[in-house]
């Protein structure tokens, strides 16, 4: 028997777990979900019906997605945060206070080393961890802003994405500049409140605050707010951390199954491909497919494949 045939026989006879645990990370095959030069991934929020992030990792492998935008809550679960500290929503009293203190103590004691095993687990499944999604609000302390960057640096991500407000730009900018890590502000479609990320003007205000603040540009919400995502991307492509891809209708209508709304998904993806821009286009699955979440995300991925064929 030739050496290569013998090696193949041995490797295929070993348990999958042995192979995964004994092959160096640098030698493992990563899932290739780049299509016509466009890196396709998903935010873990797409699999929010799965309470165990280990199942979410498996779902990425099943669908064939090699790029992950990791929600901070999923990250904390994988890092071993106390379960009590992650729950307790809607509760009050001594138990809730104790849980909140336990969570705060865990977070304030966390270091970059706390989160390195999370990246290792994700990469072991063949998935590139590109972005941490950590949502910010005005009540967040400076300690928790610092914690966000500790988590991000431990994960080794290229950027942070965040659903937040325009006014948070001035607060987070010094932290982003200190850590030299870009924070992409995520937009929704609330055009009534000027403090909400929804319009080109709101993005201009944020992007003008610091070169370390960027756009986690959601093309679905931007169309829902009656904006032109193609025009926005052409203007601000050098400030985009990543796209969120979904379909919606204009005038604040959505979510909806892909291909039934007004979002020019194919045109956006083809533009990114043509211009060779390197930011990932992440699926944000938000409608309820009758076949379930994994088939639903798979349909979105197949829609992208067809759009870029």
What is the pTM (predicted TM-score) of this model?
0.89
Q: Write the pLDDT tens digit of every residue in 10-21.
A: 333 333 333 333
Q: How far apart are CA 190 and CA 280, in angstroms?
A: 25
pLDDT of res. 11: 36
Domain extents for the chain? 28-307
Q: How far apart are CA 27 and CA 32, in angstroms?
A: 15
Nearest to 58 by CA among 294, 217, 255: 294
Region for 2 from its dihedrals, namely left if φ exceeds 0, alpha if ψ lies in -120 to 50, beta otherwise: beta
Specify the 3-state DSSP secondary structure of 211.
coil
Per DSSP bridges, beta strands 128-133 and 159-163 are parallel
Domain 28-307, CATH number (from 3.30.70.260, 3.30.930.10, 3.20.20.150, 3.10.20.30): 3.20.20.150
- For the chain (309 residues), the mean pLDDT of every run of 10, in chain order, is 40 36 54 98 98 98 98 98 60 79 94 98 98 97 98 98 98 98 98 97 98 98 98 98 98 94 98 98 96 98 98
Q: How far apart are CA 66 and CA 246, in angstroms?
A: 18
pLDDT of res. 27: 44
Per DSSP bridges, beta strands 67-71 and 128-133 are parallel
The residues near 24 (Cβ < 8 Å, ≥ 6 apart) are none
Dihedral sign (CA 34, 245, 128, 278) = positive
**70 prior amide bond cis, ω within 30:** no
Q: How far apart are CA 176 and CA 146, in angstroms?
A: 9
Nearest to 278 by CA among 63, 118, 71, 41: 41
Which residue matches tokens 């960027």? Answer: 214
204, two tokens: 């201009």
Q: Write the pLDDT tens digit of every residue in 200-210.
A: 999 999 999 99
pLDDT of res. 6: 35
* Size of the chain, expressed as the number of residues it contains: 309
Which residue matches tokens 């590109």? Answer: 130
Specify the 3-state DSSP secondary structure of 289.
coil
Q: How far apart are CA 269 and CA 40, in angstroms?
A: 10
The residues near 16 (Cβ < 8 Å, ≥ 6 apart) are none
Q: How far apart are CA 223 and CA 14, in angstroms?
A: 50
List the beta strands (DSSP E) in the chain.
34-35, 38-43, 67-71, 128-133, 159-163, 182-186, 213-218, 240-245, 247-249, 253-256, 281-283
């Amino acid at each position: 028997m030739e050496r290569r045939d013998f090696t193949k026989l041995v490797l295929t006879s070993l348990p999958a777990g042995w192979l995964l645990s004994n092959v160096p990370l640098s030698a493992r095959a990563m899932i290739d979900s780049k299509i016509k030069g466009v890196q396709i991934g998903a935010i873990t929020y797409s699999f929010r019906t799965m309470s165990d992030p280990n199942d979410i990792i498996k779902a990425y492998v099943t669908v064939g997605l090699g790029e992950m935008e990791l929600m901070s809550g999923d990250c904390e679960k994988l890092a071993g945060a106390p379960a009590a500290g992650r729950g307790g929503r809607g509760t009050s009293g001594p138990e809730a206070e104790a849980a909140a203190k336990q969570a705060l103590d865990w977070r304030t004691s966390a270091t970059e080393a706390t989160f390195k095993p999370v990246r290792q687990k994700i990469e072991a499944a063949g998935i590139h961890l590109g972005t941490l999604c950590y949502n910010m609000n005005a009540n967040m302390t400076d300690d928790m802003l610092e914690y966000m960057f500790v988590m991000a640096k431990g994960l080794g991500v290229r950027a942070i994405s965040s659903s937040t407000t325009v006014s948070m730009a001035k607060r987070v900018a010094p932290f982003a500049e200190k850590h030299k890590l870009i924070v992409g502000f995520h937009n929704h479609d609330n055009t009534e409140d000027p403090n909400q990320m929804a319009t080109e003007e709101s993005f201009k205000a944020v992007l003008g605050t610091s070169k370390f603040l960027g756009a986690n540009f959601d093309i679905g919400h931007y169309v829902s707010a009656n904006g032109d995502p193609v025009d926005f991307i052409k203007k601000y492509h050098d400030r985009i951390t990543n796209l969120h891809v979904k379909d919606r209708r204009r005038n604040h209508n959505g979510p909806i199954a892909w291909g039934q709304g007004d979002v020019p998904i194919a045109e956006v993806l083809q533009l990114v491909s043509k211009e060779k821009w390197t930011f990932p286009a992440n699926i944000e699955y938000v409608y309820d497919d009758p076949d379930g979440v994994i088939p639903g995300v798979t349909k979105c991925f197949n829609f992208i494949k067809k759009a870029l064929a």
